[in-house]
Amino acid sequence: MAEALRFRNDDPVEEPAVSLDAFLAQDSASAVRIEAGDDPRRLIPHLSRVKLVEIGIPRFRDGRCFTSARILREAGYEGEIRAEGDVLVDLVFFMRRCGFDSFAPQAGLNRADVDAALSRYPHVYQHAADGAVPIWKLRHG
């Protein structure tokens, strides 16, 4: 596993993430791992005790991770959402827009490439979990 990237100011969660089913079966866990195919909406009633949601990305072609992060952010979750697995630098910008704020890639990501990807587009075209104002709204107030 390569070095993690984190875009948060709070302390990292040290507790290992448990599966969604294990998390729901106990009251003491505060870190949960969502796999492709898990329904993140099952977490919504428990968001007050969740400190970390780790979302597994087995292959870059599987876009369900984007939906999972956005569902959690739209439900009001403000804790850490970490992408773990096949994270590609080309997708980090879009993953940040959907609500990911930390990344644990299988292969290393060059920090300069990540910074370039995050600053490549100065404007966005739609609302997302990151709260950026779409360019059409900037133009037409």
pTM given for the model:
0.89
In this structure, which topology does domain 5-140 adopt according to CATH? Rossmann fold (3.40.50)
Task: Give how far Cα 99 sits from Cα of 28, 48, 56, 108, 132, Å.
Answer: 25, 17, 14, 21, 12
Task: Give how far Cα 25 sits from Cα of 29, 47, 72, Å.
Answer: 9, 15, 20
Q: Is the pLDDT of residue 3 over 90?
A: no
Return d(Cα 64, Cα 45) in angstroms, integer.
21
Q: Is the pLDDT of residue 48 over 80?
A: yes
Q: How confident is the model at residue 107, as a pLDDT? A: 85
